[in-house]
């Protein structure tokens, strides 16, 4: 599912530096036939696939009659090819020096792909999630879409809240006995205890403590 903002904004040309792939991952299983079927249900991919199979890049006037998604896919013309009846995008992995064939992911499947990879990486950040997705898949404007999806991920937002910075702890300055007495309840969490909660009073100057069963 694409956000209207993403659709209306031209997708920037992808520079070689942004398609670097990492060697990790690849445990997720994606059946080839499933993607052949999924692509068959995506009119944008089918349009582009036909051009690729004919080895004919349509001229600019013809391209302008196509959907924005098809136009954006055609921007990858030099990398596009059909392998096992699946439209793929060829990229070079600079770390393993291997050529990867990314499946052109249909719009209806991109969220599912993101979720699978994002959960398999235990809710990794945008860059790592993108890197893992790029090992197998490509779709136009995927970076912007993945960033949006991660912004809306409940587990990630809970994690962000947990690591939000807190005010630093400061020592309490005391200069004479019984100036400040700290009070706290102590519980050992044992069901068999006669007194489950013990009130502990500590004089912060002498560190003398009283324990009062409650
Ligand atoms: Zn997440």
Q: Give the model's pLDDT for residue 198.
A: 82
CA 156 to centroid of ligand 1, rounded, Å: 4
What is the value of pTM for the model shown?
Answer: 0.63
In total, the chain counts a number of residues equal to: 214
Distance CA 107, CA 112 (A): 10
**What letter does residue 97 receive in the DSSP assignment?**
T
Beta strands in 12-168 (DSSP E): 80-83, 86-93, 98-104, 137-138
Helical (H) or strand (E) element with 211? strand 209-213
CA 153 to centroid of ligand 1, rounded, Å: 5
* Structure tokens given for 137: 């898949």
CA 16 to centroid of ligand 1, rounded, Å: 27
Q: Could you state, in order of their start, the residue ranges of all structural domains in the chain?
A: 16-161, 181-213
In contact, 51 and 9? CB cutoff 8 Å: no
CA 117 to centroid of ligand 1, rounded, Å: 10
Q: Give the model's pLDDT for residue 189.
A: 66
Phi–psi pair at 109, nearest 5 degrees: -105, -10
Mean pLDDT, contiguous 10-residue spans, the chain (214 residues): 38 39 43 85 97 96 96 96 95 87 95 95 94 94 95 90 73 86 78 78 87 83
CA 120 to centroid of ligand 1, rounded, Å: 10
Q: Which CATH class is domain 16-161?
A: mainly alpha
CA 112 to centroid of ligand 1, rounded, Å: 13
Q: Give the model's pLDDT for residue 10.
A: 46
In contact, 88 and 81? CB cutoff 8 Å: yes
pLDDT tens for 101-135 read 999 999 999 999 999 999 999 999 999 999 999 99
From the list 135, 91, 102, 98, the residue with the least C-alpha distance to 35 is: 102
pLDDT tens for 4-21 read 333 334 444 443 333 333
């Amino acid at each position: 599912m694409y956000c209207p903002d993403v659709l209306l904004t031209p997708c920037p040309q992808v520079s070689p530096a942004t398609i670097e792939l990492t060697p990790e991952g690849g445990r997720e299983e994606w059946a080839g036939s499933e993607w052949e079927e999924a692509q068959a249900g995506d009119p944008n991919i089918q349009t582009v696939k036909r051009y690729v199979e004919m080895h004919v890049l349509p001229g600019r006037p013809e391209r302008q009659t196509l959907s924005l998604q098809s136009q954006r896919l055609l921007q990858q013309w030099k990398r596009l090819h059909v392998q096992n009846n699946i439209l793929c995008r060829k990229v070079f992995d600079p770390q393993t020096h291997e050529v990867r064939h990314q499946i052109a992911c249909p719009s209806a499947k991109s969220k599912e792909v993101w979720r699978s990879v994002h959960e398999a990486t235990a809710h990794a950040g945008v860059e790592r999630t993108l890197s893992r997705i790029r090992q197998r898949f490509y779709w136009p404007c995927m970076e912007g879409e993945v960033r949006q999806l991660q912004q809306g991920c409940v587990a990630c937002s809970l994690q962000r809240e947990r690591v939000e910075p807190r005010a630093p702890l400061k020592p309490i300055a005391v200069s004479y006995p019984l100036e400040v007495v700290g009070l706290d309840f102590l519980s050992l969490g044992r069901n068999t205890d006669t007194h489950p909660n013990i009130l502990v009073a500590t004089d912060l100057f002498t560190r003398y403590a009283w324990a009062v069963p409650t």
